[in-house]
Structure 1
Amino acid sequence: MTLTTFKAYPQVYNVRDFGAAGNGTTLDSPAINAAIDAAAQKGGGTVLLPAGIYLSYSIRLQSNIHLYLDAGAEILAAFPGKDSGYDVAEENPHNRYQDFGHSHWKNSLIWGIGLENISITGFGKINGAGLTREESRLPGVGNKAISLKLCRNVTIKDISMVNCGHFALLATGVDNLTLHNITVDTNRDGFDIDACRDVRISDCTVNSPWDDAIVLKSSYALGFVRDTENVTITNCFVSGYDKGSVINGTFQRDEPQAPDQGFVTGRIKFGTESSGGFRNIAISNCVFERCRGLALETVDGGFLEDVVISNITMRDIVNAPLFLRLGARMRSPEGTAVGRMARITLSNINVYNADSRYSCIISGIPGHNIEDVTLQNIRIHFKGGGTREDGLLTPPENEKLYPEPWMFGTIPASGFFIRHAKNVALNNVQLSFEKEDLRPSLWLEDVQGIRVGNYRTPLPTGVKPYLLKNVTGFEVKGSDFEMKN
């Protein structure tokens, strides 16, 4: 007797069968949610959006749902009406510890809370045209494209996302998250990865001129501290070109500023929300273009430890190419202690055409050092133009300010400003300048143990290679300093 085994495949639920019109004018979110409900009642399945434009308010994910956007399918966020709109933001007693947008999930185009085994894939588009980039508290207003809270086993891949409001993706407390081959061209943050574990971000393009492109956070939005840890980011392109001009291939540069009045953003960053910490993170093979530089920030009490960043190339960087800040903003529950930053390795980094006002910055605060930092194989071409007067400045501490390089004003170093640090190594560093820069290359204060090897930089006549204040254990080998000092 021959026994034939039949394999059961998950059912496909076509949203057209549930009444979706896909014409861009009929509100289709009720039909999409009905298809999700039907699939969930059978234990899960694929909810298919074939080609068409699906005008929508909140789409509510459920466990074991695969939302598939076929090529030519577009979920279009609807503008709220007088008596209709997105799901209302849920209550959160911990609002005061992070911005409104970080503290709520239901006021979104697509959201899920407490789910597992969910995916959003396909070659379609999510268009958040009806979302606001402001942190609106008005009922019915949506300000995020995708929001996930306390979910497990999540995959998002291949889709494109535009005009996504405050976040293209807000993932808070999500474990085992994969983001792959996603194109985002948006008006605020791209990916906000907050209090998440086991995260893989690969082969993504994120253009976000008015905010950060890929940002790791560790807020108090869940009502408890939860580190962001075990994260890899690889093969990604981040930028600050004019909104919409990367996805359409024009790469325009007409808009110079972000809402914080700084130049365009579009970078990879740790922080600012940092009540929890950041641990065991690797970033590699990424390109920054026309944006701010790499920023590692912990200012609310979290530990930022065990981070390796390598093979990064940057071009047209509008502030400090490298910014490491341990601060004491302390936007956390009362009694939280100042955090820690330690065991950081940055290697194989190439930067061309960087703003010289802020050089590169590694800055802790009095009594709290950044520790065990290695920078190796670093090449930076700065705009230059720093004056002798700039080299005499002493930047303020500004321990509690929001961290951005301009918090210190013009930096008195042409290469690296390092303050309140311990055990720092600069190996094989080469600096060059479009215009002559008359500031010392290194400006060091309250540094315990710094080793400089094969450090190359032009030193104009009469310019000291470094300025030291309360520095111990300063070692220089095989560098231009030995010849010029």
Structure 2
Amino acid sequence: MRLPFPGHACRQFDVREQGAAGDGRRLDTPAFNAAIALASATGGGVVRVPAGNYRCFSIRLRSDVTVVLEAGATIIAADPDLDPGSYDLPEDRGEQLYQDFGHSHWHNSLIWGDAVRRVAILGPGVIDGRALTRDGPGARWKRQAGERPLSMQAMTAAEIDALERDAAYMQGRGNKAIGLVEARDVHLSGFTIRDGGHFAILATGVDGLVIEDLTIDTARDGIDLDGVRNARVERCRVNTPNDDAIVLKSSWALGRAIPCEDVVVRGCAVSGFDPGTLLDGSRGTRQQIAPDRDRVTGRIKLGTESNGGFRRIRIEDCRFERSRGLALETVDGGVVEDVIARDLRLQDVTTAPIFLRLGDRRRGPPGSSLGAMRGITLERIVADGIDPRFAAMLVGLPQAPIEAVTLRDIALTYRDGSGCKRADVPAPELADAYPEPSMFGITPAWGLWARHVRGLHIDGLTLHTPADPRPPLVLEDVQAVTAARIRHTAVEPQRGLTISRTASTI
């Protein structure tokens, strides 16, 4: 096996030598933590986990340690309601006003590393988070507008409380499979995560992160990269019907706005199949609705948390199956710039295939500014089976348009939209709302709707629907437009391109 840190190979440690039973019944947490501490204290080494079932509470990573989960090895999250013990308590990092509980703590994880250096977890074994919880209270931000998606407005207080258990309930419980904070040079490769709790992986403020060849099938978030730098996610399969699969964020979780920069997501497959059915191969489609009351999720996204912004992001050669489409969002004051998404294939899209949103939620301290979005290139994207209610959407604000967007060689095929009739009134601005494609209701166009955009270059856009009463394209307050090779087809003749009076002529 090739080790990302070859120097670790000089010293080998086996968790069984430290007392691990691997029988799935006894707790093996002390043996894991002893082996990891010994490897780190002796200058670094490899901690081997041979075949077996290891029931554990919090495993604490230390610097200069590579953990190898060998074939047949499974780390099982212990259950604090049944097993004698608990997970490490969520650390106190001061007031967490602008972020929810799950994003704000890392020690309450099955495996966690705080300020560690040169750490790796390698497969081919399994991390089974069956006893982790997806729960946790929301942010204590008092303004509340934009705290939850508009699709949740009809939910009762009891229904929301069931999803957002209070902080007292979370004491001693684990809600992440892997939590990493302010770490450097971390490599995660080749293993499987089943049922990862709130996050299968939460990496916050990490510099130098490689995640490759993972398979994740979980009931909430898959891979969350919050304020990371120099990160690469490659060849991962992530199934998350109830939340986002691979998501980049730049939140206020560490008490400061940290940009998410120089990140590549390449060769990955994300999906919203029924929980567990990616791993068993059945790819079930019984579940239709996610907890936010929109259709299943499972997408790649930038945002919603966006205080620090995003720069130099590349999303390439990825596949979306039965999921919401690509979403690029900034609503909390950050700048999104120099983002390229290309060679994407989307099948059975459950909301909009493309969603760019510049909003003004400003979930942050007083004085937080309005953000910006500019320099976005989307090219060679093919999507079919799209929910007909939602066109591809580029939506800024009157005072803050999205700037410099290129759409090149985009082909979008929608399901029958003959029933998608929209009232002849402007879509609301909803500047401070939580960003989701469904926030505006049925969109004014069936193919592409752009509003408050300055500098839109279209070179190759193909749209198809069996039938739809709306026009294929609507551009409102879109300035400096250039367009070539636009085609749209439907059984019913359409009115063609609609441009508001403030838009430039194509």
TM-score grouping bracket, smaller chain normalisation = over 0.9
The one-letter amino acid paired with 1:455 is I
The one-letter amino acid paired with 1:133 is R
- Contact persistence 2:475–2:503 (CA under 8 A): no
Residues 1-60 of structure 1 show CA distances to partners (whole Å, capped at 9, x for unaligned) of: xxxxxx995211100011100000100011100111111110111111100000000000
Residues 118-170 of structure 1 show CA distances to partners (whole Å, capped at 9, x for unaligned) of: 00002000000010011152211100000000000000000000100000100
Q: Which residue of 1 aligns with 2:213?
A: 181
Aligned-pair CA distance for 1:386 = 4.4
- Contact persistence 1:391–1:438 (CA under 8 A): no
SS of residue matched to 2:502: strand
Which of residues 498, 501, 506 is equivalent to 1:467? Answer: 498
Q: Sort the Cα spacing of 1:388 and 1:166 in 2 relative to 1 into closer, same or farther, 3 A.
A: closer
SS of residue matched to 2:88: coil
In 2: Cα distance, 1:379 partner to 1:130 partner: 42
Q: Which residue of 2 aligns with 1:482?
A: none
Q: Which residue of 2 aligns with 1:330?
A: 362
SS of residue matched to 2:134: coil
SS of residue matched to 1:87: coil
TM normalised by structure 1 equals: 0.94
Q: Sort the Cα spacing of 1:8 and 1:41 in 2 relative to 1 into closer, same or farther, 3 A.
A: closer
2:461 paired with 1:437: no
Aligned-pair CA distance for 1:203 = 0.6
Aligned-pair CA distance for 1:446 = 1.4
Higher relative contact order (CA 8 A, sep 6+): 2
Q: Which residue of 2 aligns with 1:86?
A: 87
- Contact persistence 1:386–1:414 (CA under 8 A): no
- Contact persistence 1:343–1:373 (CA under 8 A): yes
Aligned-pair CA distance for 1:463 = 3.7
Which of residues 288, 296, 300 is equivalent to 1:268? Answer: 300
The one-letter amino acid paired with 1:291 is S
Q: Which residue of 1 aligns with 2:17?
A: 17
- Contact persistence 2:388–2:420 (CA under 8 A): no
- Contact persistence 1:391–1:439 (CA under 8 A): no
Q: For 1:400-411, what aligned pairs fall within 5 Å after superposition?
A: 400-411=432-443
Which of residues 121, 143, 147 is equivalent to 2:179? Answer: 147
Which of residues 284, 297, 306 is equivalent to 2:316? Answer: 284
Q: For 1:22-33, what aligned pairs fall within 5 Å after superposition?
A: 22-33=22-33
In 2: Cα distance, 1:471 partner to 1:387 partner: 29
- Contact persistence 2:217–2:240 (CA under 8 A): yes
Q: Which residue of 1 aligns with 2:223?
A: 191
Aligned length: 468
In 1: Cα distance, 2:486 partner to 2:339 partner: 23
Q: Which residue of 1 aligns with 2:277?
A: 245
In 2: Cα distance, 1:470 partner to 1:16 partner: 73
Aligned-pair CA distance for 1:405 = 0.7
In 2: Cα distance, 1:89 partner to 1:440 partner: 52
Of stretches 26-35 and 456-465 in structure 1, the one that deviates more from structure 2 is 456-465
The one-letter amino acid paired with 1:91 is D
The one-letter amino acid paired with 1:114 is A
Residues 183-213 of structure 1 show CA distances to partners (whole Å, capped at 9, x for unaligned) of: 0001111000000000011011000010000
Q: Which consecutive residues of structure 2, in runs of 5 or more, have no partner in the other structure? A: 1-6, 137-164
- Contact persistence 2:123–2:192 (CA under 8 A): no
In 2: Cα distance, 1:352 partner to 1:330 partner: 34
- Contact persistence 2:342–2:378 (CA under 8 A): yes
Aligned-pair CA distance for 1:92 = 2.7
Aligned-pair CA distance for 1:450 = 1.4
Aligned-pair CA distance for 1:73 = 0.2
- Contact persistence 1:424–1:450 (CA under 8 A): yes
The one-letter amino acid paired with 2:59 is I
SS of residue matched to 2:32: helix
The structure where strand makes up a greater share of residues is 1
The one-letter amino acid paired with 1:308 is I
Q: Sort the Cα spacing of 1:8 and 1:132 in 2 relative to 1 into closer, same or farther, 3 A.
A: closer
Q: Which residue of 1 aligns with 2:59?
A: 59
Aligned-pair CA distance for 1:385 = 1.6
Q: Which residue of 2 aligns with 1:399?
A: 431
Of stretches 393-402 and 50-59 in structure 1, the one that deviates more from structure 2 is 393-402
Q: For 1:96-135, what aligned pairs fall within 5 Å after superposition?
A: 96-135=97-136
Q: Which consecutive residues of structure 1, in runs of 5 or more, have no partner in the other structure? A: 1-6, 476-485
Of stretches 442-451 and 185-194 in structure 1, the one that deviates more from structure 2 is 442-451
Aligned-pair CA distance for 1:459 = 5.9
In 2: Cα distance, 1:284 partner to 1:273 partner: 22
